Structures are given as structure tokens and as C-alpha cells.
Amino acid sequence: MNSVQKSGFVPVKEFPDYEMNREGVVRKIGGPQLTVLYSSTGRPYVAFRKARKNRSRSINVLLVENFGPGAAEAVGMPEPDMNRVKTQRELARRPRSGKSLGQDARIGITSTCHGCKKPCINYYCDECWIEKRGFGMDDTSRTHADLYGN
């Protein structure tokens, strides 16, 4: 039996540099206990550092992932809905740039025109800008004096 098993700590799935016990104590392997933080709703969680990024996880979710169903209730925490946790993690992995994700974002289309609803890179497409203002987005030949008379 190794020292991790003797002390009651097991490696945390998804974060191999950290370990936790059945009471919900999380620490870096061989290091001090991580600080327990609380969300605005009072939910306890811990923050991990992985690949130069901070990742946070609810302690009750970690308990269920590492020790199985019922582990969170055994220490007086609510049992998490693991289907909801899975869905939230999938949503968090999606790219965050623009309304049209995936291929559209890669070619520069990140929005839809608010006038004609065609894909574009701005609030209005060039045709709608011309219709609204008399000139397009890229028309730099007009000066402030030309437009406003001063």
C-alpha cells in the first residue's frame, strides 16, 4: 500500500497533480490543502492550475467523480446532477467568438446584419450601410466636413 492510499488521499481525475480524500479535502500531491472558495450561491469549490490556466471544480462534483455516487451526501453536501455537469462542461469547451461559430468564425463572419440578416463582420453589411447613410463602411473618401457641413 503506497503513502497516498495510507493517508486516504487519491489522485483527482482530470488533475493528476492533485489529490483528495473522502472528506473533500483537496491538495497538491504532498503539499498543503487548497483553499476552499465559495460561489455567490454558497457552493464550495476549489481552483486548480492546469496547463497555465485556472480551472475550478465544485467539491461535491469532485467527490462523486473520484469516489462514486453517494460520496457527496456522505459528507453532508448535496449530490450533484452529473448529467447537468457534463452538459455544462461541453458548453464551456465551445469557442466563444461571435454568433456564427466554427467555420464562419474562421473566415471572419462573426455576426449577422441587423438590416437584411445576411452574415457579415459588422453590425450592418456594406449594402445596408450605404442604404442607411449614403456611403459604405469602407468609404474613406468622405470627410467630416463633407458629411456634416462644418
Q: Which domains does the chain have, with CATH numbers?
A: 3-92 (3.90.75.20), 103-148 (no CATH)
User: What does the pLDDT look like over 94-117, one tens digit per residue?
Assistant: 655 544 445 555 555 567 788 888
pTM score: 0.58
DSSP per-residue letters across the chain: --HHHHHT-EEETTEEEEEE-TT--EEETTSPBPPPEE-TT--EEEEEEETTEEEEEEHHHHHHHHH-TTHHHHTT-PPP-HHHHHHHHHHHTS--SSSS-THHHHTT--EE-TTT--EESSSS-HHHHHHHHSS-TT--S--HHHHH--
User: What does the pLDDT look like over 49-90, one tens digit per residue?
Assistant: 887 888 899 999 999 999 999 999 999 999 999 998 888 888
